[in-house]
A = this chain, B = another copy of it.
């Protein structure tokens, strides 16, 4: 499930620190992007709408406080200020400006993580409504993503989680070639290592369960050197 990971934008001009935090948080299973410039930060926050923003105060282009003020009215996620400035009045100003936390450098990664988690616990945000279609029909095949049930000629087929996810993805774009790379990424949420053949296996097991011949597959075709393709017309 790709949607699972939370995204965090780190706005920080010290690239060493920035990538240090990035690495640490990536290990904790967050999706991290970084931005060194203050004047680009506001734009990117609104554009990417990350689940959380880590914001430095002293930045080239525009200071963090202004960024915070500028985005606060439209960006609803938590903003965590991370800065070396010692002044208490900055802290007060930032918090009043709409920041949710103010942490002084240097900070232990473990502490930063705990604070991030506390903010997420409170925010609990996920207003992204999945308005896309929940049920797909292709002749004798029916796929229901809210109950995760697949029927073939009205008969229920029991698929595993991975098999279902792959089928749903392919069926979402019938007639289009999807690379292993892309399938892997969409289904697992992280990148393909190039040697993994789990997708091959999932396809193989899917074909068997969907009664598609493997030597001459009509329903899920192999595009040699490119990937796989769901054939819409094959289910009648």
Contacts and interface: CB of A to CB of B under 8 A. Distances in A.
Nearest to A175: B146
Given A88-B111, A162-B224, A177-B1, A118 B146 contact: no
Interface string A112-150: 011101100111111100000010000000001111110
A27 interface: no
Contacts of A117: 95-96, 191
Contact of A146 (B134, B174, B179, B191): B174
A67 interface: no
A229 B148 contact: yes
A118 B147 contact: no
A15 interface: no
A98 B122 CA distance: 10
Interface residues of A, number: 62
A232 interface: yes
Interface string A191-231: 10000000000000000000000001000011111100101
Residue of A76, A99, A147, A233 most packed against chain B (CB within 10 A): A147
Given A88-B108, A161-B225, 14 more contacts: A1-B223, A78-B122, A88-B111, A95-B114, A95-B117, A96-B117, A98-B121, A100-B122, A122-B123, A124-B127, A146-B174, A147-B232, A148-B229, A161-B223
10 closest A-B pairs by beta carbon, nearest first, are A146-B175, A161-B224, A95-B114, A92-B114, A147-B231, A95-B118, A147-B233, A1-B226, A122-B122, A161-B223
